[in-house]
């Protein structure tokens, strides 16, 4: 008998009444079945049969405007980006089949890291296979036993999972509340390591953090600061470096986390830093070491896209115009929005409940518009949201069309 494997003593143990480990999902299964039983299209099972451009696709057989992607800068069909990927696929093959610390660092990985250092004007850049893994890896590795992580309660799942994977004490504070954050920092024992984790743009409501004040408070208490700028890269701040740049605190933060899966238009994650010892992370950060590196075609598209985003000021200006027009139009139609003013490329439309949210989502998709239906636990305060994320490639005319579809759907469902 092999050690560590429990063998049944008697044959009847084999078909005993064991606990079904799926029973914990029963409430979720019932909720989902309840919604689908009303006959609505499944909002979490949409298939894009053909993608026509960054802003249009054939979804479930219909020509649809995309207003629920993170393709903020519309780079996915940029001819230079596509060509760079094609070339790398031919020159370097389809994948690396290995970790960055073994056989998985190709020329392209070094080049995309250099592009990130140039983009952020920082000394170090480390690329992960996703943004999720970047948060998981950096947070769990730098904050260890006896250290404290002070974080906004509305932080992204990858930040929470990074905290859960490490051994630090985790201290959340009320969303965007500077005083609450300070109170938590004040209570941490003298001499303990402290990491404050913030996001530039919070992706559910599209609101931004008061980073100028928050970073100053963090520094006052000697904390290191990590800011996740996943939703701001490429268009917030003079050079698209994010809310940290817009707030004038980029030199005061220790780590910026980002992703290639939004404005960059492909997949991958990263951390940039000026910390002199940062390179040791490549050997001690498990979600970097124990996984395969990104395919050569992906890093080539990312590098080309990042270098183009450095010259993207016209696109940025148009994206801001789109955001303002949509926000104003939706407010005038009578929808309740997540922010009083547009603060990013995300505009959240608050739904009364999940049933009406699903009905509204379906009315929009049938009208030719895709948005994200977001619900708890991803959303704050148990809200059901229709999350609209704009793209720099949406034309003025498309934004008007979007408002028309919202008006018709809102009236049909009885929300406005
Ligand atoms: N951070 C934030 C704030 C995010 O919203 C996301 C993804 N939605 C991530 C990190 C993870 O990014 P990725 O898609 O690259 O895993």
From the alpha carbon of 267, which atom of ligand 1 is closest? 15
Give the residue, out of 230, 233, 269, 302, with the most ligand 1 atoms within 8 A of its beta carbon, to mutate for a pocket test. Answer: 230
Q: How far is the CA of 182 from the centre of ligand 1 (A)?
A: 26
pLDDT digits (tens, 9 = 90+) for 377-405: 889 989 999 999 999 999 999 999 999 99
If pLDDT is split at 50, 70 and 90, which confidence band does 34 have?
A: confident
From residue 295, give the alpha-carbon distance in Å to each of 10, 96, 263, 267, 354: 50, 6, 19, 10, 39
From the alpha carbon of 70, which atom of ligand 1 is closest? 8
pLDDT exceeds 60 at position 35: yes
Give the neighbor-by-neighbor strand order of the sheet with 48-53.
48-53, 56-59, 62-66, 369-370
Instruction: Assess contact for 205 and 372: CB atoms under 8 A.
Output: no
From the alpha carbon of 132, which atom of ligand 1 is closest? 16
- For the chain, the distance separating the N- and C-terminal CA atoms, rounded to the nearest angstrom, is 68
Q: How far is the CA of 230 from the centre of ligand 1 (A)?
A: 6
pLDDT exceeds 80 at position 211: yes
pLDDT at residue number 12: 56
Residue nearest to atom 12 of ligand 1 (CA): 131
Residue nearest to atom 13 of ligand 1 (CA): 131
pLDDT at residue number 306: 98
**Residue from 263, 246, 243 nearest 131 by CA:** 263
Around Cβ 262, how many Cβ atoms within 10 Å? Answer: 25
The fold for domain 77-309 equals 3.40.640
If pLDDT is split at 50, 70 and 90, which confidence band does 43 have?
A: confident
Q: How far is the CA of 297 from the centre of ligand 1 (A)?
A: 21
ipTM above 0.95, yes or no: yes
pLDDT at residue number 15: 63
What is the chain's mean pLDDT, rounded? 95
From residue 352, give the alpha-carbon distance in Å to each of 59, 217, 287, 359, 384: 26, 36, 39, 11, 7
DSSP string, 183-206: HHHHHSPTT--EEEEEESEETTTT
Domain borders along the chain are 39-73+312-413, 77-309
Q: How far is the CA of 130 from the centre of ligand 1 (A)?
A: 8
The Cα 210–Cα 54 span in angstroms is 31
Q: How much is the pTM?
A: 0.95
| 294 or 13, which is more confident | 294
CB-based pocket (< 6 A), ligand 1? 130-132, 135, 156, 158, 199, 203, 228, 230, 259, 261, 269
3-state SS string over 57-104? EEECCEEEEECECCCCCCHHHCHHHHHHHHHHHHHHCCCCCCECCCCC
DSSP state of 13: G
pLDDT cut 70: percent of the chain above it: 96
Q: Which two tokens stand for residue 30?
A: 């019932």
pLDDT exceeds 90 at position 237: yes
DSSP state of 254: S
From the alpha carbon of 203, which atom of ligand 1 is closest? 5
Q: How far is the CA of 100 from the centre of ligand 1 (A)?
A: 21
pLDDT exceeds 90 at position 60: no
Q: What is the mean pLDDT of residues 84-112?
A: 98
Choice among 12-16, 38-42, 257-261 with the minimum mean pLDDT: 12-16
Q: How far is the CA of 185 from the centre of ligand 1 (A)?
A: 26
The fold for domain 39-73+312-413 equals 3.90.1150
pLDDT at residue number 8: 57
Give the residue, out of 201, 208, 244, 259, with the most ligand 1 atoms within 8 A of its beta carbon, to mutate for a pocket test. Answer: 259
299 φ/ψ angles, rounded to the nearest 5 degrees: -70, -30
Q: How far is the CA of 228 from the centre of ligand 1 (A)?
A: 9
pLDDT at residue number 9: 59
Q: How far is the CA of 158 from the centre of ligand 1 (A)?
A: 7
pLDDT digits (tens, 9 = 90+) for 304-345: 999 999 998 889 999 999 999 999 999 999 999 999 999 999
């Amino acid at each position: 008998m092999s050690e560590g494997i429990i063998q049944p003593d008697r044959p009847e143990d084999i078909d005993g009444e064991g606990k079904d480990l799926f029973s914990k999902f029963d409430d979720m299964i019932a909720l989902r079945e309840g919604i689908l039983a009303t006959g609505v299209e499944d909002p979490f099972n949409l298939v894009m049969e053909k993608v026509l451009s960054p802003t249009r696709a054939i979804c479930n057989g219909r020509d649809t405007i995309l207003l629920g992607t993170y393709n903020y800068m519309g780079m996915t069909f940029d001819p230079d980006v596509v060509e760079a990927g094609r070339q790398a696929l031919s020159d370097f093959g389809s994948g690396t089949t290995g970790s960055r610390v073994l056989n998985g660092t190709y020329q392209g990985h070094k080049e995309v890291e250099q592009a990130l250092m140039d983009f952020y004007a920082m000394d170090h850049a480390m690329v992960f296979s996703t943004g999720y893994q970047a948060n998981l890896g950096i947070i769990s590795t730098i904050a260890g036993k006896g250290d404290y992580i002070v974080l906004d309660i509305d932080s992204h799942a990858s930040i929470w999972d990074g905290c859960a994977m490490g051994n630090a004490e985790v201290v959340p504070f009320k969303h965007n509340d500077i005083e609450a954050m300070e109170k938590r920092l004040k209570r941490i024992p003298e001499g303990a390591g402290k990491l404050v984790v913030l996001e530039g743009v919070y992706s559910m409501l599209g609101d931004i953090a008061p980073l100028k004040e928050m970073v100053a408070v963090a520094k006052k208490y000697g904390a290191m600061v990590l800011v996740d700028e996943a939703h701001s890269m490429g268009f917030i701040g003079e050079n698209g470096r994010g809310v940290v740049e817009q707030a004038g605190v980029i030199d005061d933060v220790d780590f910026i986390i980002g992703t290639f899966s939004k404005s960059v238009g492909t997949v991958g994650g990263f951390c940039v830093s000026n910390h002199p010892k940062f390179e040791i992370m490549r050997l001690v950060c498990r979600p970097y070491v124990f996984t395969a590196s990104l395919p050569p075609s992906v890093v080539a598209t990312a590098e080309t896209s990042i270098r183009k985003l450095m010259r993207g000021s016209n696109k940025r200006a148009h994206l801001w115009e789109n955001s303002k027009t949509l926000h104003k139009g939706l407010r005038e139609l009578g929808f309740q929005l997540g922010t009083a003013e547009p603060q990013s490329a995300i505009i959240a439309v608050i739904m009364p409940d999940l049933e009406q949210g699903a009905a509204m989502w379906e009315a929009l998709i049938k009208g030719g518009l895709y948005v994200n239906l977001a619900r708890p636990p991803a959303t704050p305060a148990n809200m059901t949201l229709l999350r609209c994320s704009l793209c720099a490639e949406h034309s003025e005319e498309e934004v008007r069309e979007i408002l028309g579809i919202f008006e018709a759907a809102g009236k049909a469902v009885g929300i406005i």
